[in-house]
Amino acid sequence: MSSRENKIQGTIRESFIHMVSLLRWILLCLIILYLLSGIYSVSSNEVGVLQRFGKVIDDKVQPGIHYALPWPIDRITKVPIRIVNRILIDDFYSASEPESIARVFSGMTGLDSYCVTGDNNLVNVKCVIQYNITNPFDYLFRVKDANVMLRSMACNTIIHCLSKMPIDESLTRGKQEIADYTKVALQKRLDDSQSGLSVSFVELRDIKPPDRVQEFFSDVVKAKIDREKMINEAESYRNEKIPAAKADASRILQKAGAYKKEVVLRAEGEVDRFKRILTRVREKGDSARNMIYIETMKDIMKKVGRKHIMFRDKKGEVPARLRLYCPP
């Protein structure tokens, strides 16, 4: 073997050694990067769910910087539990079902999906539901798609509530009742299904008849409002007049009672006086009668003022005119 060949082999050997050393460093860097890939952070509005070979070992990883074994050993899923989510329900079919009966009906008639009230009237409903995730484990693993399930349950709950309520109540004072019932009933169904969701607020933005009959419904509602107004005015007039009449009746009764008492007392006084006179008459006879006559005439004469009294003698002739003066 010549020196040239030896030199070439030495060069190849050195290159191979350098290449092996470089590969070792590259492999070491890759291992370091692989191990460093296990570092992760959870933001302040999130909670992490840590899985190891598919098994959940920690479903409440708190915000901050953490370390987990790199993929495919560990897997971290971040769930935003402190973010308020909103869904708008203005139809009762899913956008992912283009061939649903409601969409076919809408395409044929041009009417939006509707609810049927307890007295078989149609109303369009627009409702906003606010919710957040309270249990990350249930949210991720108990149900397939919690958001789709929430929408379906909300639509079902609203339909069930309106089916027991007449349209007059649902269009006026029943709106808040519908929202309250939807919140309570929807939350109960979510808890029973272990969805991990919590409903924080339900706002019934609008409930109205279909546009084609809106004008007629408005006339009916206006007439009912006028009727309620007239009833309230009549009740107000009634509430004003009845107390006044009762006050007049009470005043008349009090006046009649006072008059009755006065008359009774006067009558009792006259009875006592008559009894005393009767006793005197029985005791003294004609002298008592004369005395009573004189006293009675005195009382009469005090009231009549001046009078001329004509006396006739036994023959029937008037001998003279006498003037009897009685002071007033």
Per residue in 191-228, pLDDT tens?
Answer: 998 888 999 999 888 888 877 777 777 787 788 788 88
Owning domain of residue 57: 42-64+71-83
Give me the amino acid identity at 149.
M
> Residue 328 above 50 pLDDT?
no
Q: What is the mean pLDDT of residues 237-257?
A: 90
Confidence tier at 327 by pLDDT (50, 70, 90): very low
Specify burial of residue 230 (Cβ count, 10 A radius: 0-12, 13-18, 19+): exposed
- Give buried/exposed letters for 194-217 (b at 16+ CB in 10 A, else e): ebbbebeebbbeebebeeeeeeeb
Give yes or no: residues 48 and 25 share one domain: no
More confident residue, 188 or 214: 188
Q: What is the mean pLDDT of residues 164-188?
A: 86
Identify the DSSP state of 206. Answer: E
Give yes or no: residues 163 and 144 share one domain: yes
Of the CA atoms within 13 Å of residue 253, those in its CB half-sphere come to 6
Tell me how many domains the chain contains.
5
Which residues are paired to 41 by β-bridges?
65
Give me the amino acid identity at 23.
L
* Closest listed residue to residue 77, CA positions, set 137, 147, 124: 137
Distance between CA 208 and CA 324 in Å, rounded? 102
pLDDT digits (tens, 9 = 90+) for 21-64: 788 888 888 888 888 777 888 888 888 888 888 888 888 888 88
Least confident piece of the model among 122-131, 184-193, 286-295, 316-325: 316-325
What is the three-class DSSP state of 16?
helix
pLDDT reported for residue 322: 41
CA 145 to chain centre: 33
pLDDT reported for residue 324: 41
Whether the Cβ atoms of residue 297 and residue 309 lie closer than 8 Å to each other: no
Give yes or no: residues 28 and 133 share one domain: no
> Residue 270 above 50 pLDDT?
yes
Confidence tier at 131 by pLDDT (50, 70, 90): very high
Whether the Cβ atoms of residue 22 and residue 107 lie closer than 8 Å to each other: no
Give yes or no: residues 248 and 142 share one domain: no
Q: Hey, what are 144's tokens? A: 């397939």
CA distances from 28 to 22, 24, 35, 183, 305 (A): 10, 6, 11, 57, 149
Of the chain, the percentage scoring pLDDT greater than 70 comes to 81
Give me the amino acid identity at 131.
Y
Give me the amino acid identity at 43.
S
Give yes or no: residues 277 and 317 share one domain: no
Give yes or no: residues 105 and 200 share one domain: yes
pLDDT reported for residue 62: 85
Pick the last residue of a domain from 173, 208, 243. Answer: 208
Identify the DSSP state of 257. Answer: H
Specify burial of residue 133 (Cβ count, 10 A radius: 0-12, 13-18, 19+): buried
Pick the last residue of a domain from 166, 190, 208. Answer: 208
> Residue 1 above 70 pLDDT?
no
Give yes or no: residues 130 and 173 share one domain: yes
Distance between CA 4 and CA 12 in Å, rounded? 12
Give yes or no: residues 203 and 94 share one domain: yes
Whether the Cβ atoms of residue 127 and residue 154 lie closer than 8 Å to each other: yes
Confidence tier at 186 by pLDDT (50, 70, 90): very high
Q: What is the mean pLDDT of residues 294-299?
A: 74
DSSP for 32-101, written as a single string: HHHHHTTEEEE-TT-EEEEEETTEEEEEEEPSEEEE-PTTTTEEEEEE--SS-EEEEESSSS-TT-TTSH
Write down the mean pLDDT value for the chain.
Answer: 79
Pick the last residue of a domain from 152, 185, 208. Answer: 208
Strands 47-52 and 74-79: antiparallel
Give yes or no: residues 220 and 184 share one domain: no
Q: What is the mean pLDDT of residues 150-161?
A: 87
Please report, for the domain that includes residue 142, its CATH number.
Answer: 3.30.479.30
Specify burial of residue 64 (Cβ count, 10 A radius: 0-12, 13-18, 19+): exposed
Give yes or no: residues 238 and 304 share one domain: no
What is the three-class DSSP state of 142?
coil
pLDDT reported for residue 111: 58
Give yes or no: residues 10 and 30 share one domain: yes
Reading phi first (left if > 0) and then psi (alpha if -120 to 50, else beta), residue 293 is in: alpha
pLDDT reported for residue 97: 52
Give yes or no: residues 232 and 176 share one domain: no
More confident residue, 131 or 19: 131
Please measure the distance between the N-terminal and C-terminal CA atoms of the chain and give it in whole angstroms.
Answer: 184
